[in-house]
């Protein structure tokens, strides 16, 4: 989720908004490829990815975490180039899900499951400019590789 995106859009034409998102999301797409992740979808200014699909990787948690850190850096560079002050709010959770085609008319590939819902709640409940992890995800990461700060506890059910 891009914090400040509504204000960003307020003085731009629809074409400028789409071009801006396309440029930023293209940078995120390159990071998805770099880390062998799966881009699930974009909804407005939200960008959703998953690790470990469609092919499982033992290090998918690390891949997603590194991707999140690089997303933050990509947005900083984007802001610098465009003299903006956008920030990301990122939520990461680890767990099972199911993927498939939904519908018959304008069908879409979607990923469903509690893990997706928990990641979404984690992001939405988080502070701007931060990467928020659930305890499940944090416990899967090597604490010597990352710097963690305790955050607020949120209810996901």
Averages of pLDDT over runs of 10 residues in the chain (157 residues) are 88 91 95 95 89 88 95 95 91 88 79 86 87 91 85 71
Structural contact between residues 91 and 123, judged by C-beta atoms closer than 8 angstroms = yes
Per-residue model confidence (pLDDT) at position 8: 86
> Is beta strand 98-102 parallel, antiparallel or unpaired with respect to 108-112?
antiparallel
36 dihedral zone (left: phi>0; alpha: psi -120 to 50; beta)? left
Per-residue model confidence (pLDDT) at position 156: 66
Per-residue model confidence (pLDDT) at position 157: 63
| pTM of the complete model | 0.88
């Amino acid at each position: 989720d891009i914090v400040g995106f509504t204000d960003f859009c307020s003085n731009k034409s629809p074409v400028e908004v789409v071009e801006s998102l396309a440029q930023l999301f293209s940078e995120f797409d390159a990071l998805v490829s770099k880390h062998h992740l799966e881009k699930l979808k974009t909804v407005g200014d939200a960008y959703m990815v998953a690790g470990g699909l469609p092919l499982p990787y033992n290090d998918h948690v690390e891949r997603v975490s590194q991707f999140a850190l690089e997303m933050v850096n990509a947005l900083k560079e984007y802001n610098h180039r465009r003299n903006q002050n956008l920030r990301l709010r990122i939520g990461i959770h680890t767990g099972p899900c199911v993927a498939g085609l939904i519908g018959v008319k304008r069908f879409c590939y979607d990923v469903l499951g509690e893990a997706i819902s928990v990641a979404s709640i984690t992001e939405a409940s988080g502070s701007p400019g931060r990467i928020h992890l659930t305890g499940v995800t944090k416990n899967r990461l090597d604490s010597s590789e990352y710097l963690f700060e305790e955050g607020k506890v949120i209810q996901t059910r």
